Structure 1
Amino acid sequence: MQPYFFPYIGYFQLVAAVDRFVFYDDVNFIKNGWINRNRVLDGERNRYVTVPLSGASPSLKIRDIAVQPREIWLRKMLESIRHAYAKAPHYAAVSALIEQCLSAPVAQISALASRSVVDVCHYLDIDTAFVPSSTQFGNSELKGVNRVLDICAKERAGIYVNLPGGRDLYDDATFRSNGVELAFVEPNLSAYAQFDHAFQPGLSILDVLMFNSKDRVRAMLSVEARS
């Protein structure tokens, strides 16, 4: 998966279902996607929090796109999150996690987005190993399913797990002919209390963490991968 910025719970359900997770950080950047932004609660609605980038372009790889200096945006983002969640039951611990992540001395959005995922996993005591595609496999000339299968071979993977969108991209017979089982995690967006508002599903994992204990979130991440 591409590294996303504090992605929604379905992303973490995929992370929790696997032993090793590959950050696809050397594919082309997608504008208006989830690499440098996500949604948080804003009263009864939701809104985006966005990391500003320098020279972002679909012609560049994710790993090559820089984050703008933090003095431009960090304080404003932290204040926006405080305004949205200061009265949430787990605000103190989660705001410390956010500040730790966003203050890290990383220059590229790939590193910052990847760190947002890894830091949340550490917070939740999830021990999945993470591997960046740009430094590990040396196969960037391959495309699509051929690259995925090459990564599986180099990782000696018996099962490749993806989110449901992969059903339209990958063929079970192709994977089986290469000795790999193809499986999918169906995201579970179970409702939880968000103050007294109607439930807004699919927000950033930050929203889930603000309103739920670590044990409750870990239980929410327990989703079985199926063929």
Structure 2
Amino acid sequence: MKLGIMQPYLFPYTQQFRHIQQCEQWIVFDTPKYTRKSWINRNRIANPTKEWCYISAPVMKGATTGAISDAVLADTGWRKDFVDQLRVYESKAPFYTETVQLVKACLFMNNKVPTIADLNTHTLKVLCQHLGIDTKITRLSEMNLDLPMHAEPGEWAYMISKELGANIYSNASGGRHLFDPDLYESNGISLEFYEPIPLEFSTPGFSFVPDLSVIDTLMWIGKDNLSQWCKE
């Protein structure tokens, strides 16, 4: 079984979905400490005057000292503001309407006040289903695994892989320096690194900026084209 692991990011960048497509199981790593002003609660979309701007999901101030899984979203009506920010695409992006409907399906959950991990995991599952990606997605905080309280960054993936019986672990190539290949290989786990491939597309009225949120990609190229790219 090929396993991938990543913290829960808010509408993550497009390469993550191609990485998920290549794995059989994906673990949402929501047990580390929540980090303010990170990809966990914000991301970037295009902007016609300043290339890009942030979109964010605010977390309650008192909930920023614990684990990601415990960080409660603010109940301030921010979801409407989030959707309103996407209007910059309205007259330019060919897939604006369907993408906004998809974003709404992600944001307006039935939970009373979900955590950021609830939102980001729900979003990841909705987006994967939209793109035809059937990888199993599970939150680490909801799994009964025998793991220590603390470990080095490159060791978590090894221990989770071992607990789940994975024989291949795939990590984003940017984290290569964190891993000891001998630790994995000596325990029967092949260590792989996902290498991104370029994805460029026309953005009339905007400057093309790589690695924005998947929202941006869906606005310009739509579900079918992105789904096909993820399978390459």
The whole-number CA distance in structure 2 between the counterparts of 1:59 and 1:142 is 17
Q: Is the 8 A contact 2:48 2:207 kept in 1?
A: no
Q: Does residue 1:19 correspond to 2:27, yes or no?
A: no
Q: Does residue 1:101 correspond to 2:68, yes or no?
A: no
Matched with 2:3 is none
Deviation at 1:197, TM superposition (A): 3.3
Q: Is the 8 A contact 1:29 1:56 kept in 2?
A: no
SS in 1 for 2:27: strand
Matches within 5 A, 1:72-151: 73-106=78-111, 107-136=114-143, 137-144=145-152, 145-151=154-160
String of CA shifts for 1:69-120, please: whole Å, max 9, x gaps: 152x111111111233453111111111101110003410011011121111
Judging changes above 3 Å, is the alpha-carbon distance between structure 1 residues 213 and 77 closer, same or farther for their aligned structure 2 residues?
closer
Q: Is the 8 A contact 1:189 1:202 kept in 2?
A: no
The whole-number CA distance in structure 1 between the counterparts of 2:91 and 2:141 is 38
String of CA shifts for 1:37-77, please: whole Å, max 9, x gaps: 11001115100011111026664100111101152x11111
The whole-number CA distance in structure 1 between the counterparts of 2:62 and 2:12 is 19
RMSD over equivalenced CA pairs, Å: 1.8
Extract unaligned runs of 5+ from structure 1: none
Judging changes above 3 Å, is the alpha-carbon distance between structure 1 residues 197 and 159 closer, same or farther for their aligned structure 2 residues?
same
Q: Does residue 1:67 correspond to 2:73, yes or no?
A: yes
Identical pairs, percent: 28
Q: Is the 8 A contact 1:101 1:116 kept in 2?
A: yes
Aligned length: 222
Extract unaligned runs of 5+ from structure 2: 1-5
Matched with 1:46 is 52
Provide TM-score, normalisation by structure 1.
Answer: 0.91
Deviation at 1:196, TM superposition (A): 3.9
Judging changes above 3 Å, is the alpha-carbon distance between structure 1 residues 30 and 207 closer, same or farther for their aligned structure 2 residues?
same
Matches within 5 A, 1:171-190: 171-190=180-199
The whole-number CA distance in structure 2 between the counterparts of 1:3 and 1:33 is 11
String of CA shifts for 1:161-199, please: whole Å, max 9, x gaps: 010122111011110011100001112232101124331
SS in 2 for 1:130: strand
